[in-house]
Chain A
Amino acid sequence: MQRGFQLEAKTGEPLISFGLLEEALNLARANSLWPLTFGLACCAIEMMAAGAARFDLDRFGAGVFRPSPRQCDLMIVAGTISKKMAPAIVRLYDQMPAPKWVIAMGNCAISGGPFYYPNQYAIVPGADLIIPVDVYVPGCPPRPEGLIEGILLLEEKITKRGRLRKFRDVK
């Protein structure tokens, strides 16, 4: 089941602008992203490995995986989206309170991955067909370092400043 998603809610101008407070709030949001435990397939294991001891996501503030969408602000779509699962994903996305972000992790969430072929009947080829995606992390599965890079990129997007200001500019 596919439906168009409303982009205006994400990119429209807010009514009230808080100036410097907005920057401080964005910094706070970026450094304490709470992801939703949303592993669908193989990429879920690499997401768990990214949260485990060696590739510790907690040092970026993103280690608190919450099972309830009401308490999260980041949905990492990790795995293939089957047509049966797509309505549930949209519902979960709708249940998350704003501001919320989505990382499409793995080739399946980006474009259907190895399961997209002309005669296929089973999957939705890409998470961005049903929900708006902020960061794409390619790989099959991406290494945990790749997911961490994706989260850091999302932090740059939220705070609108690069980690190494001279070399990186993220719009």
Chain B
Amino acid sequence: MLERGLEEKTFWLNLGPQHPSTHGVLRVLLEMDGEYIVKAEPVIGYGHRGHEHMAENRNYHQFLPNMGRVDYLHALAFNQCYCMAVEKLMGIKVPERAEYIRVITAEMNRLTSHFLWVGAYLMDLGAFTPFLYCFDDRENILDLLDRLTGSRLTYCFYRFGGVPVDLDDEFIAGTRAFIQRLRRRWVDYDNLVTKNIIFIKRTKDVGVITKEQCVQYGLTGPMVRGSGIPYDIRKSEPYSAYPEFDFEIPIGENGDVFDRYIVRMREMEQSLRIIEQALNKLPEGPIMAEKVPKRLKPAAGEVYQAVETARGEFGCYIVSQGDIKPYRIKLRVPSFANLSILPEASVDNLVADVVAILGSMDVVVPEIDR
């Protein structure tokens, strides 16, 4: 019984930095009124490793392994963006076969990233079985990529001017077999997850993001595609070998968490289409450009290169002053902008919904913290 003069106060709850549902070391300070959020403030920086400072202290080749660690889940796309930015700066042209190999491996990496997201996200929501299914599918892809690149997670596979290792017949046969297998698995995911009443109730109409918010915050990736904006850099600013392939951009209608999930699932099928077309059309030829200098010394200037990663648009901004070390490299990571909408998206939601919204952003905190 409340007496006069006794107010109900809000209390602060600390979510993280060690928490099973934060996808990395993220801390969210929640000011709560009972179960409802009054204010959510993300605190980042717990994974700050100084990538941009390292960039100024290394030459271009030495910085290449860093790109696999910025976003380790879609490391090949980050590698690709950095290599393309430096190739643009130096005027190096990549041979066609190398572009196809880059696209095939980057799309396979996108699949692993989305699988991990589905598994971890559903674990956040309380379902353990999809985690095992997703990791099983993911391991199949990692076997193929491991054979080719030598790593399972933090790839450093592309070089300036192409790729160092060519695909062999076993890789191509294994990839085709894996595509067939995966297509048969979509039914399982549909039955287990997409039609699951608990999942639908937890994700429909939760965390709606409007198109105005997308522009205000600079969101990219499945966040904006779930809200109905068909923005995908592979289509709007095609790079590498993407113009040669025929694929769709799935979009959602409401901008809620469920739509973002559906967008990612459909994107996986589109990735399979791209890989299939790339394998069918794979041209013969060299895999490395000729005459790439061992010590790169680009002319003074700046370049901005963007690619579409699993999380959104990754932009690499390189400023060179004619030295063997870059003057400044700014990594414009998608999760930085995607996370900045959390305060606005979680007001007046339940705590459980905040976990659902945060998971649907597919945030990789070391990429935010760089």
Binding site for B on A (CB under 8 A): 36-42, 44-46, 48-49, 52-54, 65, 67, 69, 79-80, 82, 84-85, 88, 92, 114-115, 117, 119-123, 140-141, 143
Report B125 CB to chain A, min CB distance, Å: 15
Which residues of B sit under 8 angstroms from A46, Cβ to Cβ? Answer: 152-153
Which residues of B sit under 8 angstroms from A121, Cβ to Cβ? Answer: 50, 53
Q: What are 21 pairs between A and B in contact, CB < 8 Å?
A: A36-B18, A37-B18, A42-B69, A42-B154, A44-B24, A48-B120, A49-B138, A52-B132, A53-B135, A53-B139, A82-B45, A82-B47, A82-B49, A82-B369, A84-B48, A88-B17, A119-B57, A120-B54, A121-B50, A123-B49, A140-B154
Ranked nearest first, the 4 interchain pairs of A and B with the lowest CB-CB distance are A52-B135, A122-B50, A42-B72, A67-B20
Binding site for A on B (CB under 8 A): 17-20, 24-25, 45-50, 53-54, 57, 65-66, 69, 72-73, 116, 119-120, 131-132, 135-136, 138-139, 152-154, 366, 369
Which residues of B sit under 8 angstroms from A80, Cβ to Cβ? Answer: 47, 49, 366
Which residues of A sit under 8 angstroms from B53, Cβ to Cβ? Answer: 119-122
A41 to B131, CA, bound (A): 19
- Given contacts A42-B153, A48-B120, A80-B47, are A54 and B54 in contact (CB under 8 A)? no
- Given contacts A37-B20, A45-B72, A115-B50, are A53 and B45 in contact (CB under 8 A)? no
- Given contacts A45-B116, A46-B152, are A120 and B50 in contact (CB under 8 A)? yes
Which residues of A sit under 8 angstroms from B154, Cβ to Cβ? Answer: 42, 140-141
- Given contacts A46-B152, A52-B136, A141-B153, are A38 and B369 in contact (CB under 8 A)? no
A126 to B17, CA, bound (A): 19
Report B328 CB to chain A, min CB distance, Å: 16
Q: How many A-B residue pairs have CB under 8 A?
A: 103
A41 to B19, CA, bound (A): 13
Report B314 CB to chain A, min CB distance, Å: 17
Report B34 CB to chain A, min CB distance, Å: 23
Is A40 a contact of B25 with CB atoms below 8 Å? yes
Contact of A114 among B24, B65, B119, B131 (CB under 8 A): B65
Report A117 CB to chain B, min CB distance, Å: 7
A80 to B50, CA, bound (A): 11
Report B70 CB to chain A, min CB distance, Å: 10
A167 to B325, CA, bound (A): 50
- Given contacts A37-B20, A114-B66, A140-B154, are A49 and B139 in contact (CB under 8 A)? yes
Report B141 CB to chain A, min CB distance, Å: 12
Report A130 CB to chain B, min CB distance, Å: 14
Which residues of B sit under 8 angstroms from A117, Cβ to Cβ? Answer: 54, 57
Is A122 a contact of B18 with CB atoms below 8 Å? no
Which residues of A sit under 8 angstroms from B131, Cβ to Cβ? Answer: 52
Report A110 CB to chain B, min CB distance, Å: 15
A48 to B136, CA, bound (A): 12
Is B136 a contact of A53 with CB atoms below 8 Å? yes
Report A167 CB to chain B, min CB distance, Å: 29
Known interface pairs A41-B69, A45-B73, A46-B152; 10 further A-B residue pairs with C-beta atoms within 8 A, sorted by A's residue number: A41-B47, A42-B69, A42-B72, A49-B138, A49-B139, A52-B119, A52-B136, A53-B132, A67-B19, A121-B53
- Given contacts A42-B153, A114-B66, are A122 and B49 in contact (CB under 8 A)? yes
Which residues of B sit under 8 angstroms from A141, Cβ to Cβ? Answer: 72, 152-154
A38 to B118, CA, bound (A): 20
Chain A minimum-CB-distance residue to B49:
A115
Is A54 a contact of B24 with CB atoms below 8 Å? no
A53 to B73, CA, bound (A): 19
- Given contacts A82-B369, A114-B65, A121-B50, are A143 and B17 in contact (CB under 8 A)? no
Which residues of A sit under 8 angstroms from B135, Cβ to Cβ? Answer: 48-49, 52-54
Which residues of A sit under 8 angstroms from B18, Cβ to Cβ? Answer: 36-38, 67, 69, 88, 92
Which residues of B sit under 8 angstroms from A40, Cβ to Cβ? Answer: 24-25, 46-47
Report B94 CB to chain A, min CB distance, Å: 26
Is A84 a contact of B136 with CB atoms below 8 Å? no
Report B152 CB to chain A, min CB distance, Å: 7
Report B185 CB to chain A, min CB distance, Å: 14
Is A41 a contact of B366 with CB atoms below 8 Å? yes
A116 to B158, CA, bound (A): 24
Pick from A69, A79, A80, A143 the residue with the most CB of B within 10 Å.
Answer: A80
A2 to B154, CA, bound (A): 29
Chain B minimum-CB-distance residue to A89:
B18
Which residues of A sit under 8 angstroms from B72, Cβ to Cβ? Answer: 41-42, 45, 141
Which residues of B sit under 8 angstroms from A143, Cβ to Cβ? Answer: 152
Which residues of A sit under 8 angstroms from B50, Cβ to Cβ? Answer: 115, 120-123
